[in-house]
């Protein structure tokens, strides 16, 4: 199959338009995706730091409140109605502060001296939970890692030591947050749950989840999550990662120095990039009319360019036919190459016509007399 100049021009011009348009759409889509990724990472970083700061401020205020109560309770140890006064104080703390699911006072031996009515059944028992033992052994303000309580609840314990006026250790006042029940972390962090696939979760110093929008994930180990590993090292930042569920995520993370906890705010990459995909589809749809118009213009121009050359080619191929010379002279050659080819053909046809006339004259005329010879007479 032989391609004509018209189709070659249309093909090359259309290919150029399509490649240019495709390159523009792809580069625009790439820039948009990079911008969305960068903005989403930065948004999650700022958000994670905000949550970390809010959580740390809340915990500091909680410890300050427990410190005040510890000073009050220290005076009750030698009072004849001390236990009743301790019960009043823990009830006051429990009612005044929505922070804790339960509040208790423990002696230095680990005996529960007072506890809010919600958990009264362990009153007088010896503490054997991890959080309680940690609070009594460290004898300083403590925020425990998640542990199972004496009532078989997953909890975090926030405690403050109790010292008398001489600095002797008397015990500890502690508030418990039950992680699998309604608690202050849900109220503090739950309002930040997004509806676009983004969410925030909190891990302890060992990488165990202590807050997650999906309660079934609480106490699950997220240590393999790269962002969680960074928070366990006390770092803050951003990264693109594949989480423990195998989902590509854009994450911002921050540590909480007071507790060695970490907050991670992350968004599914697919959801974050959806605007770029929508934009690319819209660009393609809006470009189609321009592509059609461009194709029509290309066809018109290609016809206009190829028409003189096609006629010149046809007349040159059929140059022996009568009238070819006049037809060539009448062709409208409107650009340089066509004019040059037309001039060459006109000159060639003129020379050919002169030569033919000369040979005809030579073959039909007597060279001596100049009269027509027998060949001419026969003809």
Predicted TM-score of the model (pTM): 0.68
Q: Could you tell me if residue 255 is inside a domain?
A: no
Token pair in block for residue 361: 């004259």
pLDDT at residue 317, as a whole number: 64
Sorted by sequence, the CB contacts under 8 Å of residue 183 that are 6+ apart come out as: 101, 177
pLDDT at residue 318, as a whole number: 64
Q: Could you tell me if residue 316 is inside a domain?
A: no
pLDDT digits (tens, 9 = 90+) for 65-96: 899 989 988 888 888 888 888 888 888 888 77
> Please, are residues 51 and 265 in contact by the beta-carbon 8 Å criterion?
yes
Instruction: Please compute Rg for the chain using Cα positions.
Output: 46
Q: Could you tell me if residue 60 is inside a domain?
A: no
Which residues is 263 bridged to in the sheet? 202, 254
Which residues is 202 bridged to in the sheet? 211, 263
Rounded-to-10 torsion of CA 346, 349, 353, 359: 140
The CA-based angle 282-287-289, given to 5 degrees, is 120
| CATH number assigned to the domain comprising residue 169 | 3.30.450.20
User: What's the CA gap between 174 and 158, in Å, rounded?
Assistant: 6
Which of these, 178, 187, 158, 149, lies nearest to 261 by C-alpha position? Answer: 158
Q: Could you tell me if residue 334 is inside a domain?
A: no
| Residues 1-30 as b or e (16 or more Cβ within 10 Å = b) | eeeeebeebbeebbeebeeebeeebeeebe
Which of these, 152, 110, 116, lies nearest to 132 by C-alpha position? Answer: 110
How far CA 226 is from CA of 37, 39, 220, 244, 269, in Å, comes to 18, 20, 15, 9, 16
Helix (H, G, I), strand (E, B) or coil at 155: strand
pLDDT at residue 366, as a whole number: 75
Q: Could you tell me if residue 215 is inside a domain?
A: no
pLDDT digits (tens, 9 = 90+) for 101-140: 888 899 999 898 888 866 667 788 888 888 888 888 989 9
Q: Could you tell me if residue 362 is inside a domain?
A: no
Q: Could you tell me if residue 164 is inside a domain?
A: yes
Low-confidence ranges of the chain (pLDDT < 70): 1-3, 97, 117-120, 190-197, 315-330, 334, 336, 338, 350
Which of these, 287, 243, 290, 232, lies nearest to 267 by C-alpha position? Answer: 243
> Please, are residues 144 and 156 in contact by the beta-carbon 8 Å criterion?
yes
**Count of the separate structural domains present in the chain:** 1
Strand-by-strand arrangement of the 199-203 sheet: 209-211, 199-203, 261-268, 248-256, 237-242
Please report the sign of the dihedral spanned by the C-alpha atoms of residue 270, residue 272, residue 273, residue 277.
positive
pLDDT at residue 340, as a whole number: 74
Q: Could you tell me if residue 38 is inside a domain?
A: no
User: What's the CA gap between 55 and 51, in Å, rounded?
Assistant: 6
pLDDT at residue 264, as a whole number: 92
Residue span of the structural domain in which 168 resides: 75-178
Which of these, 47, 307, 215, lies nearest to 315 by C-alpha position? Answer: 307
């Amino acid at each position: 199959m032989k391609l004509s100049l018209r189709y070659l021009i249309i093909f090359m011009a259309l290919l150029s338009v399509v490649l240019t348009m495709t390159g523009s759409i792809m580069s625009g889509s790439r820039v948009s995706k990079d911008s969305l990724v960068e903005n989403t990472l930065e948004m999650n970083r700022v958000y994670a730091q905000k949550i970390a700061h809010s959580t740390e401020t809340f915990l500091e205020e909680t410890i300050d409140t427990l410190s005040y109560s510890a000073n009050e309770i220290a005076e009750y140890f030698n009072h004849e109605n001390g236990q009743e006064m301790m019960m009043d104080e823990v009830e006051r703390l429990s009612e005044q502060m929505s922070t804790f699911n339960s509040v208790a006072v423990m002696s230095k031996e680990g005996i529960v001296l007072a506890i809010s009515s919600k958990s009264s059944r362990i009153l007088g028992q010896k503490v054997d939970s991890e959080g309680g033992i940690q609070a009594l052994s460290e004898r300083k303000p403590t925020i425990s890692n998640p542990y199972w309580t004496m009532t078989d609840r997953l909890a975090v314990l926030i405690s403050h030591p109790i010292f008398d006026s001489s600095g002797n250790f008397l015990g500890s006042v502690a508030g418990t947050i039950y992680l699998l029940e309604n608690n202050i972390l849900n109220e503090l962090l739950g309002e930040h749950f997004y509806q676009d696939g983004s969410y925030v979760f909190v891990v302890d110093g060992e990488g165990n989840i202590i807050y997650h929008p999906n309660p079934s994930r609480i106490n699950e180990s997220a240590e393999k999550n790269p962002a969680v590993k960074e928070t366990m090292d006390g770092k803050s930042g951003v990264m693109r990662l594949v989480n423990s569920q195998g989902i590509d995520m854009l994450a911002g993370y921050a540590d909480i120095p007071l507790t060695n906890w970490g907050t991670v705010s992350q968004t599914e990459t697919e959801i974050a990039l959806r605007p770029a995909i929508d934009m690319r589809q819209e660009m393609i749809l809006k470009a189609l009319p321009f592509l059609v118009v461009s194709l029509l213009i290309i066809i018109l121009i290609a016809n206009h360019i190829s028409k003189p050359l096609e006629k010149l080619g046809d007349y040159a191929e059929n140059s022996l036919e009568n009238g070819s010379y006049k037809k060539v002279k009448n062709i409208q050659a409107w650009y340089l190459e066509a004019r040059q080819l037309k001039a060459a053909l006109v000159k060639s046809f003129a020379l050919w016509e002169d030569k033919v006339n000369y040979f005809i004259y030579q073959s039909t005329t007597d060279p001596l007399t100049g009269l027509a010879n027998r060949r001419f007479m026969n003809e």
